[in-house]
Amino acid sequence: MSPRGGLRGRRPILVGLLGLPFAVAACASDKNSIVEASLGSEASAAAIDQDPWALLPRGPVGWGYVDAQRLFASRFGPTALNLVLRRLPALQAAGFDPKRDLSSMSVGVYSIQGADFIGVLKGSFNRAKIEAHIEQNPVTPLGIPLTKTSYGERTLFMAESIGFCLLTDQTALFGNQMGMRRAIDRVRRGRLERSLPDWLESQLKNSQAPIVTGLNLKENPLSAATRSELPFLNGMATLGVLANFEEPGMNLAGTAQYDDENAARFGAQNLEAFDDYLQSMGWVMALFGVAQPLRSLTAEAQGSEARFVAQIDGAAVDRLLVQADGLLPGAGAPVSPSAVTPGSAVAPGAVAPTPGAGP
């Protein structure tokens, strides 16, 4: 074979090799297009601010909602506020005042054991000012460095395993990094769909209570040790609780759904037995300087549901918060009990939940 003929025979191979980079670039472009198409259009700031529950990934074990303004106006609100402020000096120095700027908190818990949760804070946040201040002072009051990381073009500030992310000037995320990333993925895909069980939706829609919580044990069974310590949890499928801040400090009304009527009857009996146990341990708690917050608890079974109401002493909660502040590490002088007279800090418009208001 002549050299000319050999070159002619290898021409298709040379052409193919020369075209390989262009083919790779074309494939990469196609892959990027596929990724972008799978993400969809990112949710707008207006969509992000519209519904905090839509930011939560599917499948929580539990849910919680707190009206922050009514919490801070409660009998023990000033103590709770001081406790929070002493541990968030970076935000306070940046001009963020929870009593003025924080409106509500919505939380989803994804594991009964371990810190797998995601929360959404609603309020007024100056993102630029807060982030700039943290850049200058990237250490918590406990001496833990705040690590700055990026995900989905969003900035996350992490103190070990827990952190926060300011999505907009009205919405912020907090929780563990994996939980926040899942929420950011929803924003990137533009799929902000609210996914809550019907009984919890009913609680949130029809109640004016400043605290609404829910627990799903049907798909998330508890350990045998937990059930032995708290026998009223045996056979429980779901639990919904409403709370307000009226006298004597906090009132609870809850409904627990059980597997059957017998389980509900035993659940109600075990709830009242738990109340008796706590009351009998009051003197022991007093020896350790722990206040007994539970004033009363009554429960009754109705079909496969156990409904209960409870009263919590506000002054006792206030003292417990002071004691908790002494046990938790933090900066500055310990907080003092709230100088609030009974009834003076009850939020206007609060409606006491009734036993029948559960899910």
Q: What is the DSSP string of 293-309?
A: -EEEEEEEEETTEEEEE
Under the phi-then-psi rule, with left for phi > 0, alpha for psi from -120 to 50, and beta for the rest, what region is 2? beta
pLDDT for position 23: 42
Burial 319-329 (b: 16+ CB within 10 A, else e): bbbbeebeeee
Rounded Cα gap, residues 72 and 345, in angstroms:
9
With H, G, I as helix, E, B as strand and everything else as coil, classify residue 237.
strand
* CA-wise closest residue to 176 among 164, 189, 188, 166: 164
Q: What is the mean pLDDT of each run of 10 residues along the chain (359 residues)?
A: 50 42 43 45 95 94 95 93 74 82 94 82 90 79 79 90 91 93 95 91 89 90 78 92 95 96 96 84 67 89 96 90 69 48 33 36
Cβ atoms of 36 and 189 within 8 Å: the answer is no
The structure tokens listed for 213 are: 């919580």
pLDDT for position 138: 77
Chain-centre distance of CA 229, in angstroms?
Answer: 25
With H, G, I as helix, E, B as strand and everything else as coil, classify residue 174.
strand
pLDDT for position 32: 40
pLDDT for position 352: 36
At a CB cut-off of 8 Å and minimum separation 6, what does 151 contact?
A: 180, 181, 184
Look up the pTM and report it: 0.77
pLDDT for position 9: 52
pLDDT for position 321: 86
Cβ atoms of 22 and 72 within 8 Å: the answer is no
Beta bridge partners of 185: none
pLDDT for position 276: 86
Q: Which amino acid is at 173?
A: L
